[in-house]
A and B are shown apart, each in its own frame.
Chain A
Amino acid sequence: MPRIAGVDIPDRKKILFSLQYVHGIGPKVAADILSRTGIDPDRRANELTDDEVTNIASLIDDELVVEGALRRQVAQSIQRLREINCWRGDRHKKGLPVRGQSSKTNARTRKGKKKTVAGKKAVGK
């Protein structure tokens, strides 16, 4: 069972897809890694030799920010926005969409599950 970038253990899938189980590696980056290390993307993850796994791992270590480090980076950027009191930071604090989307209706991803407000209809009429 190959082990890449810390705890991630993708297995019987094609290496192109099992790489994407690492946080921070998507289709594009996975394909890039394989072409640069010269590994056939159609091979299964458990068919790789130790050498090939080491190659992939060192390439990720050297050039990419993945997993915990990436999560930390994202959290820090958001924290920065929150601290300087800018508009985007404020939206993060309020749990509302940050990039100018409408929030009168929808925006449920950010706002979470609907909170029913008692008597709201009567107020509208």
Chain B
Amino acid sequence: MSRSLKKGPHVDYKLYLKVEKQEAAGENKPIKTWARACTIVPEFIGRTFQVHNGRSFIDVYVTEDMVGHKLGEFSHTRTFRGHTNKKEGLKAR
């Protein structure tokens, strides 16, 4: 089910404030965040976020096409290292 339009998109308030603050200061530093559920709004374009995936922070550079998606969609939480090969066993990576 999609989100009620009445509420508007969910944007993490503190994260938004940080973006505004940087905007005002004319800075563009990567912002660390855990707010994976935060919707990407046009104000975020051109900025880099470090989105937590449960283990580490993944750099996400926001482009225009990403507006409307959530930050978490770009920071994968699972690592798939391929299936085991009978001869070689688990390939060391």
Contact = CB atoms under 8 A, between A and B. Distances in A.
Q: Is the interface of B mostly helix, strand, loop or mixed?
A: loop
Contacts, number: 23
Given A117-B83, A119-B86, A85 B65 contact: no
Nearest to B89: A123
Interface residues of A, number: 12
Interface string B39-76: 00000000000000000000000010110010011101
Q: How large is the interface on B (under 10, 10 to 19, 20 to 34, 35 or more residues)?
A: 10 to 19
A118 to B, nearest CB: 6
B4 interface: no
Contacts of B73: 86-88
A44 B92 CA distance: 66
- Count chain B CB atoms within 10 A of each CB in A83, A87, A118, A119 and give the residue with the most: A87
B79 interface: no
A119 B65 CA distance: 44
B84 interface: yes
Contacts of A1: none
B81 to A, nearest CB: 14
A41 B73 CA distance: 45
A90 interface: yes
Nearest to B87: A119
A85 B74 contact: yes
Interface of A: 80, 83-88, 90, 117-119, 123
